[in-house]
Amino acid sequence: MTTMLAEQELAQQEVQEEYVAIRVQDVHRIYQLGENRVHALRGINLDIAKGEFVAIMGSSGSGKSTLMNILGCLDRPTSGDYFLDGVNVAQLAKKELAAIRNRRLGFVFQGFNLLARTTALENVELPTLYAKLEAEERFRRAKHALEIVGLGERFDHFPSQLSGGQQQRVAIARALVNQPSILLADEPTGNLDSRTSVEIMSILQTLNDEGLTIILVTHEPDIAQFARRVITFRDGKIRRDEMVTDRPRAAEVLAEMPTLEED
Ligand code: ADP
Ligand code: MG
What pLDDT digit, counting tens, does each position of 104-113 carry? 999 998 888 9
Answer whether 31 contacts ligand 1 (Cβ < 6 A).
yes
What does the pLDDT read at residue 2? Answer: 46
User: How many Å lie between the centroid of ligand 2 and the Cα of residue 112?
Assistant: 14
Ramachandran angles phi, psi of 115, nearest 5°: -80, 130
Can you tell me which atom of ligand 1 is nearest the CA of 29?
12
What does the pLDDT read at residue 59? Answer: 94
Q: Which residues of the chain have pLDDT under 70?
A: 1-17, 260-263
What does the pLDDT read at residue 13? Answer: 52
Answer whether 32 contacts ligand 1 (Cβ < 6 A).
no
Rounded to an integer, what distance in angstroms lies between the CA atom of residue 248 and that of residue 227? 9
User: How many Å lie between the centroid of ligand 1 and the Cα of residue 88?
Assistant: 24
Does the pTM surpass 0.85? The reply is yes
Residue of the CA atom closest to atom 20 of ligand 1: 66
Taking the CB of residue 123, how many other CB atoms lie within 10 A of it?
25
What does the pLDDT read at residue 1? Answer: 45
Helices 194-209 & 164-176 angle (0-180, nearest 10): 20
Can you tell me which atom of ligand 1 is nearest the CA of 41?
10
| CA angle at 64 for the pair 130 and 60, rounded to the nearest 5° | 130
pLDDT tens-digit series, residues 188-216 = 999 999 999 999 999 999 999 999 999 99
- Hey, what amino acid is at 15? V
Domain 51-78+85-256: CATH superfamily, name plus number? P-loop containing nucleotide triphosphate hydrolases (3.40.50.300)
- Hey, what amino acid is at 170? V
